[in-house]
Amino acid sequence: MLLIGLTGSIATGKSTVSSLLSQPPYSLPIIDADLLAREVVEPGTAGYKAIVAHFGPSTPDLLIPATTNNGNDAADDNNNTKNHMPEHGPRGLGRPLNRAALGRRVFGDDPARRADRAVLNGIVHPAVRRAMLRAVLKCYVRGCRAVVLDVPLLFESRLDRFCGAVMVVAVRDPEVQMARLRARDPHLSREDAENRVRSQGDVREKARRCEGRGGGSGVVVWNDGGREELKGEVARVMAEMERYSPRWWNWLLWVCPPVAVVLAAWGFWRNVRINRAWEEQELRERSKL
């Protein structure tokens, strides 16, 4: 089974590409890290409790305000806010997280926000990885020829080491990305939009890193145009990956699990070497500045 790591940056069109890959003629199963990240911090989960414990005391609006459906009046809500404890919601598990408030705490380049983002990632990422592993194993058991791992921070989380191929959705013009983000989320100021873009890294750097993996194992979908152009780009990169990883080969690995395990280990080792070479190259280039 070919594991395709799909990544990009905010407002580059990654979700649209993911949707296209889930439909004919590709019909690939999608494991969406963003969706899993929401599930692992649902009220009542260990992730939810850890976030509330760390951010609650310094973020009064961390939780969605209580409503009459929660069975709490305004006085109860104020008391709970002061005590930094989530009162029980309709399911008796606590109020949902206020993602906008949490985003304001962690998006940005200043040291405090970077530290908060590291704490949040330390809570969410391990739980998401476990959920991903379970989903990948289910796809393998079902005999899927390929599965898409949709992860915004694929390189940063080093999950690209486990992927047989990486696909980056990128734009050449940064203003295209900024315009799309503000059109999608008009409530964001330019500064807020820039903070969110910077928090996910330069997508053009991700594209260069992807291309450095070599033909077939690293492809870039350029999305500066419209939807029809994007469909053509997806068809192009999928045809390229098909040449390097034909369907018959994936089926052969499925019926021969020992061979699949050996090749997966070799692929992991190869990807580790590629990442190490990339990081060394980046250090050399920075030292010249």
pLDDT at 133: 93
Q: Are residues 57 and 105 in the same domain?
A: yes
| Domain stop point among 86, 112, 143 | 143
Q: Are residues 156 and 119 in the same domain?
A: no
pLDDT at 289: 62
Q: Are residues 151 and 176 in the same domain?
A: yes
Token digits of residue 83: 């005590």
Percent of the chain with pLDDT over 70: 90
Residue 45 has pLDDT above 80, yes or no: yes
Over range 205-214, report the average pLDDT: 91
Q: Are residues 167 and 24 in the same domain?
A: yes
Residue 101 has pLDDT above 50, yes or no: yes
Residue 89 has pLDDT above 90, yes or no: no
Within a domain: 229: yes
Q: Are residues 19 and 152 in the same domain?
A: yes
Q: Are residues 274 and 154 in the same domain?
A: yes
Residue 199's domain is classified under what CATH number? Answer: 3.40.50.300
pLDDT at 181: 92
Domain of residue 200 covers 2-29+145-288
Residue partners of 38: CB distance under 8 A and separation at least 6: none
Q: Are residues 210 and 254 in the same domain?
A: yes
Residue 112 has pLDDT above 80, yes or no: yes
Within a domain: 282: yes
Q: pTM score, two decimals?
A: 0.80
| Domain stop point among 118, 143, 168 | 143
Within a domain: 52: yes
pLDDT at 246: 85
pLDDT at 138: 94
Mean pLDDT for the chain?
86
Over range 71-93, report the average pLDDT: 46
Within a domain: 271: yes
Within a domain: 284: yes
Q: Are residues 75 and 197 in the same domain?
A: no
Within a domain: 276: yes
Q: Are residues 130 and 151 in the same domain?
A: no
Over range 86-92, report the average pLDDT: 50
Quote the CA–CA distance of 273 and 134 in Å, as a whole number. 26
Which pLDDT band, with edges at 50, 70 and 90, does 12 fall under?
A: very high
Give per-residue pLDDT as tens, 184-202: 988 888 888 888 888 778 8
Q: Are residues 18 and 127 in the same domain?
A: no
Q: Are residues 168 and 60 in the same domain?
A: no
Within a domain: 133: yes
Which pLDDT band, with edges at 50, 70 and 90, does 92 fall under?
A: low
Within a domain: 34: no
pLDDT at 76: 43
Q: Are residues 115 and 212 in the same domain?
A: no
Residue 83 has pLDDT above 60, yes or no: no
Residue 82 has pLDDT above 70, yes or no: no
pLDDT at 53: 93
| Domain stop point among 143, 166, 186 | 143
Residue 137 has pLDDT above 50, yes or no: yes
Domain count within the chain: 2
Q: Edge-to-edge strands of the sheet including 146-150? A: 30-32, 146-150, 2-7, 165-170, 218-222
